[in-house]
C-alpha cells in the first residue's frame, strides 16, 4: 500500500513558485540527506507548477529548458540516487493554474510520460477544468491512467475541497486530497485552514488515504512565493503540532538550504513526527474551544496505537499566556485512570496525573502532550 502513514517530503511551490529549478531540487535532496530530514522520514521531493515548457512537444509534456537543462528524468535520477522519491505536478484542466499545458484529454499519454521519467508522486490540480465534466470524473481518469502505467505513483488530489474529495478521493485512486484553498505564510491562514476548516473531517482519513490541509509554511518567515508577512516561532510550532495531530501529509515548504536552527528543531521533532506517523492512522479531532471576549483556545486530540492520546492545547488568543486544562473524559480516557503526561516539545515527562492536566500556554503557542494510561 502506498502512503500507509501520511506522506512526508518537500514541495517547491510555497517558497520557489516560478523560480523552481533542477539546481534547487538537487540541492534540496543533498540537504535532506545531510541535515537528517531523510532519516526523520521526509521522503518525496515534489516539483510544483512552472516546470513545464509553454507548448507540448510531439503531443508530450516537456520542461522549461532554462530551469531544467538536462530534463526532468535527470533530476528524478538524482533524487533517486539519494534514496529519496520524486514528485511532479500537473492539472486536470487544459492548463495548470499558472497557465502552462496540462493533462485534460492527455491523461494516458501524460501518465505514461511521468512513469517513464521515474515519477513517484503526482500532484494533480483543478484549474481550467472543462465545463460540463464533473470534477470527480476528471480525477478518476488520471487515477486510472496512473494505475495503468504499472508504476506505483502516489496520487495527490488538489481540487481545494470544491467537490468534497474526502467522499470520493480514495475511490478515484487518491492517496491524499486537499481539503481547502491555498495556505499562505501568515497566522490568519493557519488558523483559518488548520483550526476552522478541518473540523469534522477525521472520519475520512486512514491508512492509504489522507486529508491534506495543504503544505507547511514552517520556517518561511515571510520569504518566498506564498509569503504574507510570516509567522513567529510559536506560530510555526502550533501549525506543525496541529498538522501532526490531524495526520496531515507533512510537505515542507520552506527553503531547507537556509533553515534557522529553530526551523530544524521544529521540522525534526521526532516525537511530533511520531504522532503524525502513528501506525493506527486515526486523524485527530477537535475536542472543544473556549471562546469568550475574543479570547480563543482550542483543544485537539488524537488516539494513538499504543492506547495513549496525543493532545494539543492551543492558545489562539492575544493574551500573553493562559492556563489550559484537558480532562481525561473529554479525550476518551477513564476519569480515575492515572496517566503519565509527556511534553513533546520540551521532550520531558511531566509526571503522573488523574482526571485532568493543567498547564500554561503562551500566546499562539501550543502544549503538545502524549497522555498514556499507566498499565494495570
Nearer to ligand GLA, 48 or 120 (CB): 48
- Count interface residues toward ligand GLA (CB under 6 A): 10
CA distances from 78 to 21, 159, 255 (A): 13, 30, 19
Nearer to ligand GLA, 228 or 363 (CB): 228
Let me know the angle formed at the C-alpha of 169 by 165 and 174, rounded to the nearest 5 degrees.
135
The helix or strand, by DSSP H or E, that contains position 153, with its residue range, turns out to be none
| Residues contacting residue 275 through CB under 8 Å, at least 6 positions apart | 244, 245, 302, 304, 310, 344, 368, 370
Candidate residues 84, 97, 115, 326; the one interacting with ligand GLA per rule CB under 6 A: 97
CA distances from 255 to 9, 11, 219, 230 (A): 12, 10, 8, 14
| Residues contacting residue 234 through CB under 8 Å, at least 6 positions apart | 362, 363, 364, 365, 366
The helix or strand, by DSSP H or E, that contains position 115, with its residue range, turns out to be helix 107-117
Nearer to ligand GLA, 98 or 234 (CB): 98
Q: Does 114 bind ligand GLA (CB under 6 A)?
A: no
Nearer to ligand GLA, 53 or 98 (CB): 98
The interface mask with ligand GLA, positions 238-277, x = CB under 6 A, is ----------------------------------------
Candidate residues 8, 12, 13, 76; the one interacting with ligand GLA per rule CB under 6 A: 13
Q: Does 125 bind ligand GLA (CB under 6 A)?
A: yes
Nearer to ligand GLA, 184 or 331 (CB): 184
Which range touches ligand GLA (CB under 6 A), out of 63-71, 92-100, 242-250, 292-300?
Answer: 92-100
Q: Does 212 bind ligand GLA (CB under 6 A)?
A: no
* Cα distance from N-terminal residue to C-terminal residue, the chain: 36
Q: CA-based Rg of the chain, rounded to a whole angstrom?
A: 21
Kindly state the smallest distance separating residue 274's Cβ from ligand GLA, in Å: 27
Nearer to ligand GLA, 179 or 308 (CB): 179
Task: Taking each helix axis as running N to C, give the angle between helix 71-81 and helix 22-34, from 0 to 180 degrees, rounded to the nearest 10.
Answer: 0
Which range touches ligand GLA (CB under 6 A), out of 25-33, 90-98, 243-251, 255-263?
Answer: 90-98
Nearest CA to 275 out of 147, 189, 368, 194 is that of: 368
Rounded Cα distance between 116 and 262, Å, is 39
> Catalytic residues, which ones?
125, 182
Nearest CA to 239 out of 273, 200, 195 is that of: 195
Kindly state the smallest distance separating residue 104's Cβ from ligand GLA, in Å: 15
Torsion angle, CA of 361/367/230/176, rounded to 10 degrees?
Answer: -150
Candidate residues 49, 120, 185, 212; the one interacting with ligand GLA per rule CB under 6 A: 49
Candidate residues 26, 98, 227, 280; the one interacting with ligand GLA per rule CB under 6 A: 98
Kindly state the smallest distance separating residue 329's Cβ from ligand GLA, in Å: 39
- State the residues that interact with ligand GLA by CB under 6 A: 13, 48-49, 96-98, 125, 158, 160, 182
Amino acid at each position: 500500500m502506498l502512503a500507509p502513514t501520511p506522506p512526508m517530503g518537500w514541495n517547491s511551490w510555497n517558497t520557489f513558485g516560478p523560480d523552481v529549478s533542477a539546481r534547487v531540487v538537487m540541492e534540496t535532496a543533498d540537504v535532506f540527506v545531510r541535515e537528517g530530514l531523510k532519516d526523520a522520514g521526509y521522503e518525496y521531493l515534489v516539483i510544483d507548477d512552472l516546470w513545464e515548457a509553454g507548448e507540448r512537444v510531439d503531443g508530450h509534456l516537456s520542461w522549461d529548458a532554462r530551469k531544467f537543462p538536462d530534463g526532468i528524468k535527470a533530476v528524478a535520477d538524482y533524487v533517486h540516487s539519494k534514496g529519496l522519491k520524486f514528485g511532479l505536478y500537473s492539472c486536470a484542466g487544459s492548463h495548470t493554474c499558472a497557465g502552462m499545458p496540462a493533462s485534460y484529454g492527455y491523461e494516458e499519454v501524460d501518465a505514461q510520460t511521468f512513469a517513464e521519467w521515474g515519477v513517484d508522486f503526482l500532484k494533480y490540480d483543478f484549474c481550467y477544468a472543462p465545463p460540463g465534466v464533473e470534477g470527480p470524473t476528471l480525477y478518476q481518469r488520471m487515477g486510472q491512467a496512473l494505475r495503468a502505467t504499472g508504476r506505483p505513483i502516489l496520487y495527490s488530489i488538489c481540487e481545494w475541497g470544491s467537490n468534497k474529495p474526502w467522499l470520493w478521493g480514495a475511490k478515484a485512486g487518491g492517496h491524499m486530497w486537499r481539503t481547502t484553498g491555498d495556505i499562505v505564510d501568515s497566522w490568519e491562514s493557519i488558523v483559518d485552514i488548520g483550526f476552522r476548516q478541518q473540523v469534522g473531517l477525521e472520519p475520512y482519513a486512514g491508512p492509504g488515504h489522507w486529508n491534506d490541509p495543504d503544505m507547511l509554511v514552517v520556517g518561511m518567515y515571510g520569504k518566498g512565493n506564498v509569503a504574507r508577512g510570516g509567522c513567529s516561532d510559536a506560530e510555526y510550532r502550533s501549525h506543525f503540532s496541529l498538522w501532526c495531530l490531524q495526520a496531515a501529509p507533512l510537505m515542507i515548504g520552506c527553503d531547507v538550504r537556509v533553515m534557522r536552527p529553530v526551523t530544524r528543531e521544529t521540522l525534526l521533532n521526532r516525537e511530533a513526527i511520531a504522532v503524525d506517523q502513528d501506525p493506527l492512522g486515526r486523524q485527530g479531532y477537535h475536542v472543544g474551544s473556549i471562546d469568550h471576549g475574543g479570547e480563543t483556545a482550542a483543544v485537539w486530540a488524537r488516539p494513538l496505537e499504543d492506547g495513549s492520546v496525543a493532545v494539543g492545547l492551543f492558545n489562539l488568543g492575544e493574551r500573553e499566556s493562559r492556563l489550559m486544562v484537558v480532562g481525561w473524559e473529554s479525550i476518551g480516557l477513564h476519569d480515575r485512570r492515572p496517566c503519565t503526561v509527556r511534553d513533546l516539545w520540551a521532550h520531558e515527562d511531566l509526571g503522573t496525573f488523574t482526571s485532568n492536566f493543567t498547564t500554561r500556554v503562551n500566546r499562539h503557542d501550543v502544549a503538545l502532550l502524549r497522555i498514556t494510561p499507566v498499565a494495570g
